[in-house]
Structure 1
Amino acid sequence: MDKIIKNIIFDLGGVLVGLNPERCINAFREIGCGVLASYVEEHRTEDLFLETELGRIDEGEFCNEVRRIAHTDTPDKDIVWAWNQLLTGIPHEKLLRLARLKQQGYRLFLLSNTNSMHWNRCRDNFFTACGLRASDYFEHIFLSYEMHMAKPDVEIFNEALAIAGINAAETIFIDDSEANCIAAEKAGISTLHETSGHRWLYEI
């Protein structure tokens, strides 16, 4: 890594956490909410999913909307379970690498388009796999549903830089979305477009 880089901002899904859309689709079908499968299958980023990512609706409202769309009385816990089946976990090697980067003096941050259900799952189950917490790895965690803004809006990067008090020229952002990387570059941040889920392990 270029010596000028002092700060590393990580995306969550596809960079740290593995994603399995097919498992999520099957889970929604299993609980009688098959109509939601098309949302996942088409990678839809508008409507219901976007509303949760921007924090415009909470978990209860999300579940109510799922029941309305699917014409079902499926309980909240089953809907949340199915939605969380998208997430497959964080490999230990990635957690160890994060810890090592922090020990080497890099300032680490997380910036994710996510919702409270997915974040709670990651925070409580995935980041704890090596005996630490998410907050032990990252100096600040920026979540779209808390910030009420989302990538690829350049403003979310400017906001993160301002809150963290870091210089864009000394920062690299890692994301699996090319559009998000382009937005980060517009904010003056260097980027690594993650194409395999593991590339950053060897290039950072």
Structure 2
Amino acid sequence: MIKNIIFDFGDIFINLDKKKFAKELQNLGISQESEANLPILNDYEMGLISTEEFVAFFEAKFNVPKEKLIKAWNSILLDFPEKRLKFIQELSESNKYRLFLLSNTNDLHISWVKNDWKLALYTAFKGCFEQFYLTHEIHLRKPNLNIYEFVLNENNLIAEETLFIDDTKENTDAANSLGIHVWNLIPGQEDVTELFVKKEFLF
């Protein structure tokens, strides 16, 4: 029986435009897939380097002005449908499950979210979760197994009693290898608000 639910953030609650994001970066000469860029991208996502160091890297390597980089970097972030906020608030208020958020989120992106949503909405959303884990704050990232082990151990969760919801199969596969139940949600075809319909057999 599921007692704990761990949610991803992007494309689970806030909508993302990954194609636009890739295109905007490519227009600046930056490839997400480049072996040369992956270490800096991963380090930034884990908070191992500051936003200033991150921006400076691309200014020096690609001659990209700070403002253009930040605009392109945040182009992935879209809207937060009200029905999803209502869903997580009602789920939280029911007190039926322990709720957690676990997101590969960096400083620039969460800063944009806080500014776009404003304090009241961000605080209301964050307050729905027992723990709100952002990778740049805990210095771990999905799909590395240690991030799931960290969440389980820190909160005394039993893997078999836990459901993890994420839109990236690599992430759900990793969690599932530890015995965690998973839902690899497909954006555009499924919605987190359908949880108790899609995964009714788990509850």
| Kept in 2: contact 1:89–1:126 (CA 8 A) | no
Aligned to 1:90: 80
Q: Does structure 1 residue 64 correspond to structure 2 residue 56?
A: yes
Cα root mean square deviation, aligned = 2.5
For structure 2, the residue ranges without an aligned partner over 5 or more in a row are 197-203
SS in 2 for 1:152: coil
Deviation at 1:182, TM superposition (A): 1.4
Taking the aligned partners of 1:12 and 1:104, their CA distance within structure 2 comes to 21
Deviation at 1:35, TM superposition (A): 0.9
| Kept in 1: contact 2:160–2:180 (CA 8 A) | yes
Give the structure-1-normalised TM-score: 0.82
The correspondence of residues 1-204 of structure 1 with structure 2, limited to 5 A, is: 4-25=1-22, 27-28=24-25, 34-36=28-30, 38-39=31-32, 42=33, 46-72=38-64, 74-75=65-66, 77-105=67-95, 106-126=97-117, 130=121, 132-196=123-187, 198-204=190-196
Deviation at 1:133, TM superposition (A): 3.2
SS in 2 for 1:8: strand
Deviation at 1:130, TM superposition (A): 4.7
Describe the superposition over 1:25-76 as per-residue Cα deviations: whole angstroms up to 9, x where unpaired: 56557xxx6112x32xx5988232112112221100011011012224x23x
Q: Kindly, what percent of the aligned residue pairs are identical?
A: 30
Aligned length: 193
- Whichever residue aligns with residue 34 of structure 1, its letter is L
The change in CA–CA distance for 1:157 and 1:98 in structure 2 (over 3 A counts) is: same
For structure 1, the residue ranges without an aligned partner over 5 or more in a row are none
| Kept in 2: contact 1:20–1:86 (CA 8 A) | yes
